[in-house]
Amino acid sequence: MIHVAVMGYGTIGSGVVEILEKNRETITKRTGDTVNVKYVLDLREFPGTPVENKIVHDFSVIENDPEVTMVIETMGGLNPAYPFVKACLEAGKHVATSNKALVAAHGTELLRIAGEKNVNFFFEASVGGGIPIIRPLYTSLAGEEIEEITGILNGTTNYILTKMDKEGETFESALKEAQDLGYAERNPEADVEGHDTCRKIAILTAMATGHEVDYEDIHTEGITSISDVDFKYAEKMGTSVKLFGSSRIKAGEIHAWVAPVMIGKDHPLYSVSDVFNGILVKGNMLGTSMFYGSGAGMLPTASAVIADIIEAVQNRNRHVEMGWDDSRLAIAPTQTSSCRFFIRIKGIAEERLAEVLKVFGDVTVIELDHMDEFAVVTDVMTEAEYEKKAKELSGIRQRIRAEV
Amino acid sequence: MIHVAVMGYGTIGSGVVEILEKNRETITKRTGDTVNVKYVLDLREFPGTPVENKIVHDFSVIENDPEVTMVIETMGGLNPAYPFVKACLEAGKHVATSNKALVAAHGTELLRIAGEKNVNFFFEASVGGGIPIIRPLYTSLAGEEIEEITGILNGTTNYILTKMDKEGETFESALKEAQDLGYAERNPEADVEGHDTCRKIAILTAMATGHEVDYEDIHTEGITSISDVDFKYAEKMGTSVKLFGSSRIKAGEIHAWVAPVMIGKDHPLYSVSDVFNGILVKGNMLGTSMFYGSGAGMLPTASAVIADIIEAVQNRNRHVEMGWDDSRLAIAPTQTSSCRFFIRIKGIAEERLAEVLKVFGDVTVIELDHMDEFAVVTDVMTEAEYEKKAKELSGIRQRIRAEV
């Protein structure tokens, strides 16, 4: 019997306990052993629940119990998750975590300690909720040179953008609806400003390259500037706008960024709607693969933690090689990234087009009825080129990166 | 250094050799060892190629060389793939194969021998080409009770159906085009009659349940009866027709079948077009996930073999628990499977609807201009119920299962 401790009995932690019970037979069959939750660490009591007698408030009980060989961290945030997880690994306990903030900020160190102590530090649930993505990157895609990872990695912003797209809502009303449904927090900044997506693409980039990524090096734009007017153009163009976290790796140069992107119906991520996540992976031999599923939610995310627990039990006596080393990956300056740009410009196309063509070269023009503006999509150019050109043109109201 | 032999230097075998060379650095990093192709077994010579001096025509050279600890089988078919693979496993060599016919027909025995000899028998490439699906079923989804696996598992038929859908082609002209492009064989029966899909869904069902599946127990219909007229209705309905291999597991009862299915735009597999494959997996905790990618093609399929080689090298001294046991899974009789039915009926809806309603109960009616027929979609009923009712109605020209 494997004794585990669950740290944090919130949504995901309680989901993990629930699945360990509900799918006990399957899990026992896979691991050849039974998994027993010995402790649940939480500040609260949970009288009348199955964990009533397992609750501890003192971390040192877990740290100092040699019978506990595996710890599941589902507290979130860095403090006290970071010191607790570090102490567990140093005490020779395996750790599975769903905590993207922890993995993005301290993954390198925690992976190193896990290696030194011959235990495992797994974090499948930290990216893409229930979508298997971390594990495929070190197993199924292990022989590939990854050329691109692009994901819709945040369910809250995808829900908001889907509402704006399908129902013509404004950003503000879609956000309010997401908050009312519990999909967005009262303080939605981490989601809508792209910070959550940034940490996730940092983790995926480190997995794909084998090197540490500082998420602060990743240029991050959120969706707060996307308006219902943008979606009116998108509708006419047969496109949509999604928040992408993306890394593109070419000839040793890595571009990584988080930004809203206008995409067409033929993009594999076009149909990833509502709170779902989708992750596209391009390998040099494999071509394009796409993984789709529930990016959040109690049971899907807990299910990913369960997969980590099973792999840790199967490998209880050895360290599975995965993750990244401590050599910091250099992210190319954003200014050198290239794409098309969707631009909305004040005025009438007929009157201003010559000026626009002079500045941007060949463009596609999109006009809506009854508007005091028009839009164009440029050819591919670098961000630096775009910014230089944009200064030469007055009345630019919006610019969105476009892959159409 | 790990010495391997590649049996069969056709499309996939040569792709494996190519990737081992091109991604040598990545593979060495992942395995901590170098992989050397010592022999290539083929009846042909390949003068002027990198394997020129590695070609052997006599299997016993491989079988009897103790330095060769791993064999890659990419010959296809059962003979001599089956006796060769069996002999390799019995000689204590790991085997990775792309051969679905072999796995579907003899997987149970080969898995048993691999376990007894403490080696591995891997077959990621046998289903879904480059899409990681076999491995996620025994790793990422290991703690899930799988409730459904539904896949578009055959690129040839998906290409044909996509052509019929998007370009209004007949089955015959779409097939001819697929043959001209090399997507379909001159004798296309294995693809268009659903036999290829049948073997693949049998393998997936065995992986999901842990029990042997006899592919002959799986009711299999191909796409030869699907016509351009069906797609005219589909266009009007906003639906499409795809060839599904599907297993649905509920309360211990397993329904498994291969058949064309009419699906709507909100189905996760709707946008899987051309030669791509897509596989939907529903777990009791995870909900719905979907995996998408190149279902065939030299390098994507070879890439899946490479993943197997890497896992086998990483586990060269132990048998990884995966696959299924020899207790035969009972597939429920097709007659008890339920779905809606899309039916085309001779005559004019106005004149015949009362009769149709009397037989089938509530239906949705679809009419096209200038046709001597109309179509309806029924409520959900079992196959047995459908067949009984259908006998009471004259002039049924077509029936397609519908999930709309």
Task: Please list the pLDDT of chain B residue by residue as tens digits (404 residues).
Answer: 999 999 999 999 999 999 999 999 999 999 999 999 999 999 999 999 999 999 999 999 999 999 999 999 999 999 999 999 999 999 999 999 999 999 999 999 999 999 999 999 999 999 999 999 999 999 999 999 999 999 999 999 999 999 999 999 999 999 999 999 989 999 999 999 999 999 999 999 999 999 999 999 999 999 999 999 999 999 999 999 999 999 999 888 999 999 999 999 889 999 999 999 999 999 999 999 999 999 888 999 999 999 999 999 999 999 999 999 999 999 999 999 999 999 999 999 999 999 999 999 999 999 999 999 999 999 999 999 999 999 999 999 999 999 99
- B273 in a labelled binding site: no
* Terminal alpha carbon distance of chain B: 54
Question: Is A135 a domain residue?
Answer: no
B197: tokens are: 């899909």
Determine contact, residues B200/B128, Cβ cutoff 8 Å: yes
What would the pLDDT profile of A143-162 be if each residue is shown by its tens digit? 999 999 999 999 999 999 99
Same domain, A154 and A287: yes
Statement to judge: residues A320 and A356 lie in one domain: no
Question: B357 and B285 in one domain?
Answer: no
Instruction: Give phi and psi for B247, each to the nearest 5.
Output: -130, 130
Q: Which residues pair with B240 in a beta bridge?
A: B263
Which candidate in B137, B140, B209 is best for mutational testing of the A interface (most A CBs within 10 A)? B140
Is B235 in the same domain as B284? yes
Same domain, A396 and A278: no
Q: DSSP characters for B75-95? A: --SSTTHHHHHHHHHHTT-EE
Beta strands in A269-395 (DSSP E): 276-283, 287-294, 325-328, 338-346, 363-366, 373-378, 381-382
Say how many C-beta atoms besides its own lie within 10 A of residue A131's C-beta.
29
Q: Which of B20, B286, B316, B324 to mutate to test the interface with A (most CBs of A within 10 A)?
A: B286
Domain identity same for B27 and B55:
yes
Token output for B276:
């791509």
Same domain, residue pair A110 and A150: no
Q: Distance (Å, rounded) from C-alpha A293 to C-alpha A275?
A: 9
Q: How far is residue A192's CA from residue A188's CA, in Å, rounded to a whole number?
A: 6
Are A50 and A113 found together in one domain? yes
Residue A219 burial by Cβ neighbours in a 10 Å radius (0-12, 13-18, 19+) = middle
pLDDT bin (cut points 50, 70, 90) of residue A195 is very high
Question: Does a structural domain hold residue A63?
Answer: yes
B391: domain range?
335-403
Check: CB of residue B19 under 8 Å from CB of residue B300: no
List B residues 302-331 in contact with A (Cβ-Cβ < 8 A): 302-304, 306-307, 309-311, 314, 321
User: Which residues of chain B does A145 touch, with a Cβ-Cβ cutoff of 8 Å?
Assistant: 23, 26
Both A19 and A108 in one domain: the answer is yes
Whether the CB of B286 is below 8 Å from some CB of chain A: the reply is yes
CB contact under 8 A, B145 and A321: no
Quick check: A124 contacting B, CB < 8 Å? yes
Residue A296: what pLDDT?
82
Rounded Cα distance, A262 and A279, in Å: 16
- Whether B30 has its CB under 8 Å from any CB of chain A: the answer is yes
Question: Rounded CA gap, A95 and A115, in Å?
Answer: 12
In a domain, A238, yes or no: yes
Q: Could you report the per-residue pLDDT of A32-69, keeping only the tens digit for each?
A: 999 999 999 999 999 999 999 999 999 999 999 999 99
Say whether the peptide bond before residue A80 is cis (omega within 30 degrees of 0): yes
CATH number reported for the structural domain that contains residue B213 in this entry: 3.30.360.10
Tokens of A102: 């922890």
Phi first, then psi: give them for residue B211, nearest 5 degrees: -125, 155
A380 located within any domain: yes
Residues A30 and A87 in one domain: yes
Closest CA to A309 of A11, A91, A36: A36
> In total, how many domains does chain A have?
3
For residue B135, give the nearest of B321, B269, B328, B326 by alpha carbon. Answer: B321
The CATH number that applies at residue B349 is 3.30.70.1150
CA distances from B372 to B229, B236, B350, B369, B392 (A): 12, 17, 12, 9, 20
Do A9 and A114 lie in a common domain?
yes
Q: Domain with B322 in it: what CATH number? A: 3.40.50.720
Segment A312-338, tens digit of pLDDT? 999 999 999 999 999 999 999 999 999
Tell me, what amino acid is at B382?
A: T
Quote the Cα angle for A325-A216-A240, to 5°: 110
**A87-124 confidence digits (pLDDT tens):** 999 999 999 999 999 999 999 999 999 999 999 999 99
Query: Does the residue A134 lie in any domain?
Result: no
Kindly state whether residue A237 falls inside one of the protein's structural domains: yes
Residues of A marked active site are found at 200
CA distances from B215 to A135, A235, B157, B328, B396 (A): 30, 46, 19, 11, 30
Domain-located, residue A18: yes
User: Do B118 and B105 belong together in one domain?
Assistant: yes
Q: How confident is the model at residue A295 (pLDDT cuts 50, 70, 90)?
A: confident
